[in-house]
């Protein structure tokens, strides 16, 4: 699942929905009655994140970005070479004003001739490939969650049938999956009910106060300033104040509705199966060549945002600046609104490696991986070709040392792992108790390092721009810094680039930060959230790369 969607719809909104569910009676009453161990920069004077904060410097700009702009000062007299970064995601808007000049172009392919000119198995793959589209041009937008697919598969095998002795262990697994699936759906329906009650009350209260004040929009100051004794006005004010105090606004409520609709109608719908659109044989895991060349697809918001963080044009004075100046984005569509399929992920990784990608950004993840061995093979293959894989740690506020978030660097059966993998958590532009993204997964043994992932301003479809949050944003910040190093120091291997990024990360030993997912304001030493206890930093990384290459 795309990790932005988890942030906005699964994590942030689930936290909201939990609050809705737990506090439903309150709302019902209201509705019815109406390099060193640096400290994070101080944020008291910064009420909101500067638009370019992820590229800014801790000391000069008072936000803990990755010091990209400062790093370029060290590179002024150096030449760079283009680096290809594959973005495996939900789609990239190739017509965006800030990305058009930053796209990988398959020079061996003649556009639009319907011929596989380069004989790589993919026809007219000019900017990449779409593994969740059909030959007729249709595309998968929504898909089910992996839990749903696994549950349906085992239900067909076991429900109402005699269980053979050799299948008893798997039948036990089915029982656990069934309980988990049914519990999840029941919880969602309860949360949706709580949401509906409060959303209706919020809308009525908002509309009433707009009419009362004669305004088209309401600000927090407008609401706080109301001093009327009228009971209906007071009730409406209390509802909106309650929402503000809990970080709820019209955007959050809309996103909650989208999450419930998508989850119940598609993600956890046992009767929904869009795979016929693709036209492949889902049981043939070795199948290749399916899909189409529409790398944007029906929903390119997430992938376009990711691509912009890495590569948005730094020289055109439009919108925003990506991290890497000399980079080409290879767009690979394999992640729907739902859980990605292992077959598609494996083929996407192989496509990237075969077509010259030096870095693969993977801002997606899920709780189950039924064909992990297939993905493992693709990861081994990419690593053998010197590719660096950068993966978002996920947005469920959980410790992935003990809980699943696939794909992973660890291979099945044997405990070995790839050395060409970076797992990235999300840091924020704030300090102390707001230094880490509240949604971010973490893990002292599994997460390598953190990078900016809160309120990151980047490209979205239609030549627009938007601030979004998630480890989905932190991963491409890291991919961008990696591409920067590979661009100016081409002699460095992927393993060396990884080593530099980890060793040069700015450490915050002893700094107490907010523990992701804690509802009681619990804090934790930052170094316990990742292996390095650091935040990626381009300035420090460039200095280390320069020193490393000068030694040779």
Q: What is the DSSP string of 384-398?
A: HTT-EEEEE--SSS-
pLDDT at 125 over 50: yes
Q: Poorest-confidence range of 7-11, 434-438, 496-500?
A: 7-11
Q: Rounded to whole angstroms, how far apart are CA atoms 375 and 512?
A: 37
Long-range contacts of 512-516 (CB under 8 A, 24+ apart): 512/432, 513/40, 513/432, 513/433, 513/435, 513/436, 514/432, 514/433, 514/434, 514/435, 514/436, 514/438, 515/436, 516/397, 516/398, 516/436, 516/437, 516/438, 516/439, 516/440, 516/441, 516/442
pLDDT at 552: 58
Q: Are 130 and 293 contacting, i.e. CB atoms less than 8 angstroms apart?
A: yes
d(CA 323, CA 83): 12
Region 173-193: mean pLDDT is: 94
Torsion on CA atoms 296, 301, 305, 307, rounded to nearest 10: -10
Residue 10 has pLDDT above 50, yes or no: no
Q: Range with the lowest mean pLDDT among 42-51, 165-174, 213-222?
A: 42-51
Q: How many Å apart are CA 440 and CA 400, to the nearest integer? A: 10
Residue 283's contacts (CB-CB under 8 Å, 6 or more residues apart) are none
pLDDT at 94: 98
Q: Which of the residue ranges 52-56, 209-213, 265-269, 411-415 would you say has the lowest mean pLDDT?
A: 411-415
What is the distance between the alpha carbons of residues 375 and 543, in angstroms, rounded to a whole number? 35
Q: According to the model, what pLDDT value does residue 2 have?
A: 61
Query: Which residues lie across from 121 on neighbouring strands?
Result: none
- φ and ψ of 359, to 5 deg: -135, 140
**Confidence category of residue 356, pLDDT binned at 50, 70, 90:** very high
The answer on pLDDT for 137 being more than 90 is yes
Instruction: Identify the burial level of 318 via C-beta atoms within 10 angstroms of its C-beta, where 0-12 means exposed, 13-18 middle and 19 or more buried.
Output: middle
Tell me what pLDDT residue 45 has: 39
The percentage of residues in the chain with a pLDDT greater than 70, rounded to a whole number, is: 91
In whole angstroms, give the CA distance from residue 552 to residue 534.
Answer: 27
Mean pLDDT of 176-195: 93
In this model, does residue 13 exceed pLDDT 50? Answer: no
Which architecture, in CATH terms, is 35-143+280-550?
Answer: 3-Layer(aba) Sandwich (3.40)
Write down the pLDDT at residue 47: 61
pTM over 0.85: yes
Tens of pLDDT along 430-444? 888 889 999 999 999
Q: What confidence category does residue 131 fall into, taking pLDDT thresholds of 50, 70 and 90? A: very high
Task: Of 528, 505, 381, 536, give the one whose Cα is nearest residue 443.
Answer: 528
Q: Which helix (H) or strand (E) holds 184?
A: helix 168-213
- For residues 23 and 330, the model is more confident at 330
Positive/negative CA dihedral, 534, 537, 540, 546:
positive
pLDDT in tens, 22-63: 433 333 333 333 333 333 333 333 567 888 999 999 999 989
The C-alpha angle 450, 493, 3, rounded to 5 degrees, equals 35
The average pLDDT across 418-435 equals: 93
What sign results for the dihedral spanned by CA atoms 96, 97, 99, 104?
A: positive
Do the beta carbons of residue 370 and residue 459 sit within 8 Å? no
User: Percent of the chain having pLDDT more than 90?
Assistant: 79
Q: What is the pLDDT of residues 73-89, one digit of tens each?
A: 999 999 999 999 999 99
Phi, psi of 281 (to 5 degrees): -100, 100
What token pair was written down for 491? 């002699």
Structure token digits, residue 300: 């390119």
Q: How far apart are CA 275 and CA 291, in angstroms?
A: 11
Give the residue, 517 or 265, on which the prediction is more confident. 265
pLDDT of 12 over the 60 cut: no
Task: Tell me the average pLDDT across 119-142.
Answer: 97
Is 7:395 a contact under the CB 8 Å cutoff?
yes
Q: What are the sequence ranges of the domains in the chain?
A: 35-143+280-550, 149-267
Averaged pLDDT score across all residues of the chain? 90
Q: Are strands 464-468 and 456-460 parallel, antiparallel or unpaired?
A: antiparallel
Where are the strands (E) in 321-463, listed by range? Answer: 327-333, 359-362, 388-392, 421-427, 449-452, 456-460
Q: What would the pLDDT profile of 360-402 be if each residue is shown by its tens digit?
A: 999 999 999 999 999 999 999 999 999 999 999 999 999 999 9
Q: State the average pLDDT over residues 351-367.
A: 98
**Among 254-263, 299-308, 399-408, whose mean pLDDT is lowest?**
254-263
Residue 38 is predicted with a pLDDT of: 39
Distance of CA 101 to the CA centre of its chain: 24
> Which whole number is the average pLDDT over 216-245?
90
Closest C-alpha among 331, 272, 288 to residue 141: 272
């Amino acid at each position: 699942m795309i990790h932005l969607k988890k942030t906005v719809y699964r994590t942030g909104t689930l936290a909201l929905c939990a609050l809705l569910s737990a506090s439903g009676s309150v709302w019902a009453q209201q509705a019815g009655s109406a390099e060193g161990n640096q400290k994070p920069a101080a944020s008291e004077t910064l009420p909101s994140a500067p638009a370019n904060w992820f590229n800014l410097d801790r000391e000069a700009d008072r936000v803990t970005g990755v010091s990209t702009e400062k790093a370029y000062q060290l590179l002024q007299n150096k030449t760079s070479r283009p680096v290809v970064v594959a973005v495996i995601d939900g789609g990239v808007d190739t017509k965006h004003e800030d990305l058009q000049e930053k796209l990988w172009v398959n020079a061996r392919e003649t556009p639009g001739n319907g011929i596989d000119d380069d004989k790589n198995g993919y026809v007219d793959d000019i900017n990449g490939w779409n593994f969740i589209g059909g030959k007729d041009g249709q595309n998968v937008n929504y898909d089910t969650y992996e839990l749903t697919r696994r549950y349906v598969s085992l239900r067909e095998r076991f429900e109402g049938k005699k269980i053979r002795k050799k299948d008893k262990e798997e039948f036990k697994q089915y029982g656990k999956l069934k309980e988990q699936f049914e519990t999840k759906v029941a919880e969602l329906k309860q949360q949706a009910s709580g949401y509906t009650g409060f959303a209706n009350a919020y809308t009525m209260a908002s509309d009433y106060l707009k009419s009362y004040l004669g305004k088209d929009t309401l600000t927090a100051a407008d609401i706080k300033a109301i001093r009327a004794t009228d009971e209906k006005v007071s009730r409406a004010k209390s509802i909106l104040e309650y929402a503000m105090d809990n970080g709820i606004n019209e955007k959050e409520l809309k996103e909650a509705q989208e999450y419930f609709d998508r989850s119940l109608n598609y993600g956890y719908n046992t009767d929904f199966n869009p795979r016929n659109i693709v036209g492949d044989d889902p049981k043939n895991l070795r199948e290749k060549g399916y899909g189409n060349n529409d790398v944007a697809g029906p929903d390119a918001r997430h992938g376009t945002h990711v691509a912009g963080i890495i590569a948005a044009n730094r020289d055109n004075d439009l919108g925003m600046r990506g991290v890497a100046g000399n980079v080409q984005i290879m767009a690979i569509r394999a992640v729907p609104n739902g859980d990605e399929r292992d077959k598609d992920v494996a083929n996407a990784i192989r496509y990237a490696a075969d077509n010259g990608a030096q870095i693969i950004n993977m801002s997606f993840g899920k709780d189950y991986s039924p064909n992990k061995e297939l993905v493992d093979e693709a990861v081994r293959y990419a690593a053998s070709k010197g590719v660096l894989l950068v993966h978002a740690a996920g947005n469920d506020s959980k410790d992935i040392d003990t809980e699943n978030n696939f794909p992973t660097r660890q291979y099945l059966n044997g405990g070995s792992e790839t050395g060409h993998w970076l797992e990235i958590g999300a840091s924020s532009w704030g300090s102390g108790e707001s230094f880490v993204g509240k949604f971010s997964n973490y893990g002292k043994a599994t997460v390598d390092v953190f990078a900016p992932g809160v309120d990151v301003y980047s490209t979205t479809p239609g030549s627009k721009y938007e601030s979004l949050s998630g480890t989905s944003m932190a991963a491409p910040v890291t991919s961008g810094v990696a591409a920067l190093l590979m661009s100016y120091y081409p002699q460095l291997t992927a393993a060396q680039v990884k080593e530099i990024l980890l060793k040069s990360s700015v450490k915050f030993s002893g700094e107490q930060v907010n523990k992701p997912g804690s509802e009681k304001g619990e804090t934790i030493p930052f170094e316990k959230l990742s292996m390095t206890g650091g935040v990626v930093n381009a300035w420090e990384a460039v200095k280390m790369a320069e020193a490393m290459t000068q030694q040779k």
